[in-house]
Structure 1
Amino acid sequence: MSTTYPQNQMIVVISYLFIIFHNVSPVVSVSDDSSLPYIPQDNIALDCGSSGNSIFDRPIWEGDVNAKVFPSENQNTASIPIKATQPPTQVSSVPYQTARLSRLEFTYTFPVTSGQKFIRLHFYPALYENFDSSKAFFSVKAANYTLLSNFIASLAADALGRQAIVKEFCLNIVSNNKSKLIIAFTPVSSNPDSFAFINGVEVISMPTNLYYSEREEPGAKLVGQLESYRIENSTAMEMVYRINIGGGFISAPEDTGMFRTWEIENDYLTIPGYSVEPLNLTSILTFTNKNPAYTAPRKVYQTARSMGNKDRALIKSYYLTWEFPVDSSFYYLVRLHFCEIQREVNVTGDRVFLIHIANQLAEPGADVIMWAGGKYRPVHNDYVVAMFGKPGQKKLNLTIALQANPQDSKSTYADAILNGVEIFKVSDYAGNLAGPNPDPTRIGAPSSKLHRNDKNGGGKAIISLFSGVVSGVVIITLIALKKSQLRLHRRNY
C-alpha cells in the first residue's frame, strides 16, 4: 500500500515539527465565541475560595466568595475560603490556588436551564494551612446522583502522577420553570479529621443528544450482544478518557465551545506495532447531521493512527491496541472517532477492518467511508461494554484493538485507522458513579513504552535528529508563552 506516510527520516522530522507548532497553545488563550461551532447556554466557571474574577482559559472564572451560587446559610457558614500553602507548579493558579473547605457538608446552588450538562470538579490536593488533603475523605452528589463516594483526591492524583485532577460528569437537568443544580460536598462522618474541599466547579450546557441517545434511534451497540443500549436522560456518566489519537494535546479553548480537553495517547498505546500517524491539515472536512462540527475539534479528525505501510503479512501479525484501566462493575460508553484523510483511501472497500473492544469483536467490517458517506467526512460510532471483574477487583483493562481484515478480498488495503477515543462510565441503577479509590501507584503505562524500535522504521536516527529539533522548538515555545503571559498581565491592569 503506497501511502502519504513519511517516506524518509527528514520528512518524518518535518512532519513532527509541524505537528508541534500546530498544537502549541499559549498559556492564556480565550476562545472567540463567534468562531465556535457551539455556544453553551449555561457556561459557569467557579474559582472556589476566591473573591475576585480571573481570566485564564475562558472569559471569566468567578470567585465564590459572596457569590449567589454559594448561599451564606445553614452549614455553608462553617466552610472557609482558603489558599494553598504551596502554589501549584504544573498547573495554572486558576482555579487551583484557592479552595473552599469544610468539616461539614456544604452546597452550591446553580440556576441553570433544563437539559444535558457537563459538570467538572477541579481538585488540587495540597496542604491548606493546617488541613492536610490526604485526610480529606468526602462524597459529592449532584441532583439525584452520587458522583464520588469516600473520595480521596490525593490518592487519585498520585495514581495519575499529577498535581491536580479534573473529574468530569454528564447529567440531565429535568425541565421546570426554575431549574437549579445543587452540588453537595459531604465529609465522611466516621472520620473526625476528615473534611471536604473543592478548587473549581464548571457547569456547561452541551448540545442535546451529544452523548445521550436520540428518541428515534436504538442507541449504542452493546458489545457481545445482539441488542443495543440506550443512554437515557435518567442516566449520569463520568468521562474517564478523552484521547486525540495520533495527534497532540488539545486544550480547553481549542475545543468546539464546551471546554473539553483531549489528551495524547502515549500512556495507553500498548501495541503500536508498525503503526504510523497520518496527518492531513490541508483538506477541507465536511461535517454532517450525524457528526456536527461541535462533536470534536478538527484536529481530532486531521490526525490519526493507522497500522502502517508494510506488507500484508506484517500488518496482519499484530493488533493495534490501546489499554484503558477502568473501574470494575460498570457499563462504559466507548465513542470512536474516524475520518479518512489518506490519499489512497477513496471509496468503500478500500480500507475495511475489524474492531475489538474489551477482547470482544465489536465490528467485523469497519468501513469509515461507508459510515461517513465519503472521504474527509468525520464520523463516530458508539459502543457500550460491560466491565465486571472478580469480587473485590478494583480495576480492569478496557482494550480497543484494531485488526487488519484477514480476508484479502474484503479490503483493498490491509490497514485500519482511528482518530479519537472517548470513554464514559455509565451510572448504575441507583444513580451511582462512584468507584473505589485507586492504589497509590501510577495507573497509566509509562510514555517510554511508545518509543518505536528500529524495525518499525526510523528508530535511533530519527530520535537523535528529532531531539535536536525539539530543543529549538522548546526554546521558541517558552519565549512565545512568556510573551503571552506578559500580554495578559498588561490586559489585567
Structure 2
Amino acid sequence: MKSIPNPLFLALCCCSFTINTFHVLGEISPQPQPLSYVLSCGGNDGTDSDGRKWIPDQKFLSSSGKKDSTEAATAQFQDPLLPSLVPYMNARIFRSPSTSYKFPVVSESRLWLRLHFYPATYNNLDPFSSYFSVVANGVTLLKNFSAAITAKALTQAYILREFSLMPIGTGDLNVTIAPSKESFGFINGIEVIPMPDIFHQPAAFVGYGDQTLDLRSSALQTMFRLNVGGQFIAPNNDSGLTRAWYDDMPYLFGSAIGVTSQADKKLNIEYKADVTEDIAPLDVYRTARTMGPDSNVNKKYNLTWIFEVDANFTYVVRLHFCEYLLPRVNERVFDIFINNQTAQPAADVIAWSGGKGIPFYKDYAAYVTDGQGADKMWVALHPSESMKPEVYDAILNGLELFKVNDTNQNLAGPNPVPSEMLTNAEAEEKQFTPSGSKVGTLIGGVAGGVASCAIVVALVVFVKKKQRNDGSSKTINPLPVYGSSHSGKSGTTGKPHGGSHLMNLAAGLCRHFSLSDIKSGTKNFNESHVIGVGGFGKVYKGTIDGGTKVAIKRSNPSSEQGVHEFQTEIEMLSKLRHRHLVSLIGFCEEDGEMILVYDYMANGTLREHLYHTNKPPLSWKQRLEICIGAARGLHYLHTGARHTIIHRDVKTTNILLDENWVAKVSDFGLSKTGSTLDETHVSTMVKGSFGYLDPEYFRRQQLTEKSDIYSFGVVLFEVLCARPVLDSSLPKEQVSLADYAQHCQRKGTLHQIIDPHIKEKINPECLKIYAEVAGKCLSDQGIDRPSIGDVLWNLEFCLQLQENPGGVQVAEDKANDAYDTHTATISIDEEMANKEVGSNRMNPVFSMLVDAKGR
C-alpha cells in the first residue's frame, strides 16, 4: 500500500480533536448493560485534552505464562503533533505473545475496537525494530505491523486504527499483541465500545449481477470516512457514536472537482425509514458536492474520488445521499461507477428516499485484485444521459470505505511504502547533514515554545493527490517524517568536533556555549527554571555572564526531534539582527545536547495576553503597537535581508514581548530562504500551524511571501477578537476564526465578535481600516493579498487614527482606490522607510494620506 494517509489519521495530526467516549457506560441494574473500555496502556488514570477519562490497563491483562511478559514504559520525547499526553506518552511493551488483553463483554451488538500507537523510543528500544501482530478473537487485525514505518510513510506522529468486530454476546474479547521474532510489540491506547448495527443490510456486489455481500458475519476496518462537500465533523458532533468525518478534497481526482453547497437552514432535513443518526449525523446530509450548473460541461467528465487500498481484499463503499436542492423524480439522475464498473445505473435520490430533504444511503461491495493500479479504489459519478433528466448532474453527501476480512479471518495489509518525494527528501537530508554531528536524522516535529511559550507547536498535514494528464496519479506527501535508530554525537569528551558544521556556520555571529555554562546558568536544568515546554523540548529561564537573563531552549536529550529546525534556527538568526526579531545569543552542541540561547522575553508570548489567561487584557493601543512591531519584523525578513526569508509559522505564540512590550518575531525553525529577491515561490513540503496555514500554499505546495501574509491576517483577527483560531466547542461555522471573521465582515456583524475589553474603545475609522487590512490578508489567492509593507503602512495609519483622529487629513481622491474597499494608508516618513520599511517596495497606491501633525 502506498503512502496517501488514511483520513482517520489526517486531521487527528493537524489539530486536537479526538474521539470522545466513556470508559464505563451503564450502572448496576437487573438487565446486563453494554460495557465500554478506554484504556491508557502502561499509564495511570488520566484525562486527555478533550476531558475524556482513561483508565489503567493492568487489570485487563491476562498471561498464559509463568510471569507477565509485558512492561510499562514512557516515551522519551513528545512529538508536537500529539493532541494529548494521554494516552500517547505511555505504552505497554510486549516481549512475547503470552500476555493478552481480556475484556468482559455483555452485548449483542458489534464493537468498535480502536488501537492507538505512538512510535517513540521506549526504554531505549528502537521503534523501527518493532514488528508485531494484533489478533482479536481469532481475527488478524495487523500482521508484521511497524508503527514507525507506517508513521514515517504517512508523515504522521501517531497511528489510529479502527475496526468493527462481530457481536460476541456474553463472553470475553481477547486482544493479543504478538511480537515478531526477535522483536517487540507496543500499544498506547485501546478503546472497546459497543456500536449499533449499521451493517444490517447486504451490499450489492459490483460486477456480479444480483449477488450481495452480507456484512453481519464480517469484521471490518474503517479506511475512509468523508463528509463530501462539507467540513470536518468532530467526533463529539456524531450523535454519540464518536466518529470523525473528514473533508473529501484530498481524494478528488483531476481538476474538475464540481461545486459544493449547503442546505437552506429553513429546510427541515429529517431521518425516515431505516436511516437514522447511527448511519451518519445530519451535518453530513446538509452539505453536498455536485458537478456544477452547466449540463454540457457535466456530460463531458466524471466526478471522481480515488483512494489507496490494499489488494486482495473486498471493500464496501457506503454512499450517503440527501437531495435538498431538487424536489422531483427524474430531475437529477446519474450513474455510479466503482473501479470502472457500473455499480448503479440511473441513480435517482428522490426516487430512493421518497422526497426532498430525506437522507438515504447505499452500500456497494467490490473486490480489489493484484495487478497494475490494483492498490486503488475509484468512485465516480456521471449524469445518466439515457434517462434524459431535467438537469445533467450528480450529487453526493458522504462516503465511507470499509475493508472486509478475507476467508482466513484476516484484515491485515502490508506496511505502507514511503513516497518517492519522501525518500528523495530523506536522502537529501542525509547528504546535507555532516557525520559526527548531532544534527542528524529528523524524526519529526518542529521547535516549539521559544522563551516563555508554553503552548506546543501544532502542525497540520495536508495531503493532495496530483494527477498526470494520462490519468495516472502520483502521491504527494507534503510533510516528511524521518526516522533512524542512530544519530551522530559530538563525542564523549564533552567537546564538539573541530569540524562541526554549526561551529563554522555561526563563527563570529553567535556564541558557542559549553555545556557547563548552560548547566551553571540553569542550576543543572532545575525544573523550577522551566518557563515553557514545546515539541523541541523544555525552555528554561537562565543567566549567563554573571547575571544576564536569557531563555535557554533545550531539546530532549534522548530525542532526535527537531534537529533540522535546530540547524535552521541557527542559520537564520545568527545572520539576522533587527529590533523586532528575537535575538539568538548562542548555542550548545555537546554530549548529544542541542541547546539554543536567546534574549529573555519578560512578557512572554502575545497569545498568553489575549485569552485563556488571568493576565490583565491589553489595551487596543498596545495591541496595535504589538502588531506593528511584528509587521516590521516580517517586513525585514521579506525585504531587508540579503535574500527573501519566508517565516512559514507566523502565529501569536511566535510573537514574543520584552519587558517594554516590544514585539519580536521568533521561532525560525521552519523558515525558507529564496535564492533571489525576485524569486516568485519556493516549492516545498507543506508545514505550518493549523488555523494559520495559507490555503493556496496547501493546494499548490508553493511557498511565497504571501503565505506569511495570510498567517498574519489570522493573527490580526486573533488580536481583535481575543479567541483561539480554532475552537471545536463552538458551532461548526464558528470553529475557524479566519472563516468566521470573514463571514462576519461580509454580513456587517464583525463588531459582534470583537473582544469586549476593547470593543467600545476603538475609533470606528481605525476599526474599519484594520478589519479591511486583516480581511484582505485572508484572500484566497496570494496575488490578492497586500504586501507586508502595505499592511505595515495601514497599521501605522490605524494607530494614528486611534491616537489622534482629528489630525489626519485624507486626500479627496483617495480612499476608494486602496484595496477597492475604502482602505486608506499613510505615507511613512523617509527615515522610517529607509530604516524599517524598505522604500524599494513602496506602492504608490498606499501613499494617499498625510498626517498633518505627525506623531
How would you bin the TM-score normalised by the shorter chain? Answer: 0.7 to 0.9
Q: Which amino acid in the other structure matches residue 90 of structure 1?
A: L
CA offsets 1:26-58 (integer angstroms, 9 cap, x no match): 86896899xxxxxx9333211111111324446
Q: Please say if 1:335 is aligned against 2:318.
A: yes
Return the match for 1:206 from 192, 195, 202.
195
Alignment correspondent of 2:736: none
Distance in 1 separating the partners of 2:121 and 2:16: 29
In 2, the alpha carbon distance for the partners of 1:483 and 1:297 equals 17
**1:96 maps onto 2:75 in alignment:** no
- In proportion to residue count, which structure has more strand? 1
Is the 8 Å Cα contact of residues 116 and 207 (structure 1) preserved in structure 2? yes
SS for the counterpart of 2:191 is: strand
Give 2:39's aligned amino acid: L
Tell me if structure 2 keeps the 8 A contact 1:351–1:414.
yes
Measured in 1, the distance between the counterparts of 2:52 and 2:281 equals 20
Q: Are the structure 2 counterparts of residues 361 and 433 from structure 1 closer, same or farther at C-alpha, using a change threshold of 3 Å?
A: same
* Equivalent residue number for residue 5 of structure 1: none
1:469/1:376 CA distance change after superposition, 3 Å: farther
Aligned counterpart for 1:110 among listed residues 100, 103, 116: 103
Amino acid of the structure 2 residue aligned with 1:111 = P
How far is the alpha carbon of 1:275 from its aligned partner? 0.7
Aligned 1:27-42 pairs, distance under 5 A: 41-42=34-35
The residue number in structure 2 matching 1:18 is: none
CA contact (8 A) 1:46 1:61 kept: yes
Shift of 1:206: 1.1
Q: For 1:366 and 1:103, locate their aligned partners in 2 and report how far apart those are by CA, in whole Å.
A: 53
Three-state SS of the structure 1 residue aligned to 2:375 is strand
Gap change, CA 1:82 and 1:235, over 3 Å in 2: same
2:151 corresponds to? 157
Cα deviation code 1:58-80 (max 9, x no counterpart): 6422122x4x2224773772211
Shift of 1:168: 0.9
4+ residue runs over 3 A deviation? 24-33, 55-59, 71-76, 442-446, 448-452, 463-478, 480-484
| 1:196 maps onto 2:180 in alignment | no
Q: Deviations over 1:293-312 (max 9, x none)?
A: 22112221111111011x22
Change (3 A) 1:107 1:395: farther
Which residue, 424, 445, 452 being the options, matches 2:402? 424
Deviation track 1:294-339 (CA, whole Å, cap 9, x = no partner) reads 2112221111111011x22211111111100110001101100111
Q: Distance in 2 between matches of 1:75 and 1:267?
A: 50
> CA 1:241/1:26 → structure 2, altered by over 3 Å: closer, same or farther?
closer
Determine the structure 2 residue equivalent to 1:399: 378
Extract unaligned runs of 5+ from structure 1: 1-23, 34-39, 214-218, 453-462, 485-493
The 2-side partners of 1:420 and 1:396 are apart by 22
Equivalent of residue 187 in structure 1, options 176, 179, 187 = 179
Shift of 1:197: 0.4
- Distance in 2 of aligned mates of 1:417 and 1:300: 13
- d(CA) in 1 for partners of 2:124, 2:21: 38
SS, match of residue 385 in structure 2 = coil
Matched residues, number: 426
TM-superposed deviation, 1:267: 2.1
Q: Which has the higher contact order (CA 8 A, sep 6+)?
A: 1
Q: 1:28, 1:147 → 2: CA distance?
A: 22
Shift of 1:122: 0.8
Question: How far apart, CA to CA, are the structure 1 residues paired with 2:70 and 2:373?
Answer: 33
SS class of match (1:381): strand
Preserved CA contact (<8 Å) 1:171 1:233: no
Q: TM-score, normalised by structure 2?
A: 0.46
CA distance in 2, matches of 1:319, 1:467: 35
1:167-198: per-residue Cα shift (whole Å, max 9, x none)?
1111113334xx11000000012xx2x11000
Residue of structure 2 aligned with 1:447, choices 450, 455, 464 = 464
**Matching residue within 38, 43, 53 for 2:36:** 43
Corresponding residue for 2:685?
none
Check the 8 A contact 1:328/1:394 in 2, yes or no. no
**How far apart in 1 are the matches of 2:462 and 2:19?**
30
Question: In structure 1, what residue type is equivalent to 2:95?
Answer: R
Aligned counterpart, 2:307: 324
Letter in 2 for 1:287: Y
Change (3 A) 1:417 1:384: same
Quick check: which one's helix share is greater?
Answer: 2
Would you say the 8 A contact 2:135–2:177 is kept in 1?
yes
Q: Residues 229 and 274 of structure 1: is their aligned pair in 2 closer, same or farther, counting only changes over 3 Å?
A: closer
Matches within 5 A, 1:321-470: 321-342=304-325, 345-390=326-371, 396-407=375-386, 410-441=388-419, 446-447=463-464, 449=466
2:503 maps to which residue? none
| Amino acid aligned to 1:398 | M
**What is the TM-score normalised by the length of structure 1?**
0.79
Unpaired segments ≥5 residues, structure 2: 1-13, 24-32, 423-460, 468-694, 697-706, 730-855
1:248 counterpart residue number: 231
1:143 corresponds, among 134, 137, 140, to: 137
If you compute each CA radius of gyration, which structure gives the higher value, 1 or 2? 2
User: What residue identity is the alignment partner of 1:404?
Assistant: P
What percentage of aligned pairs have identical amino acids?
Answer: 36
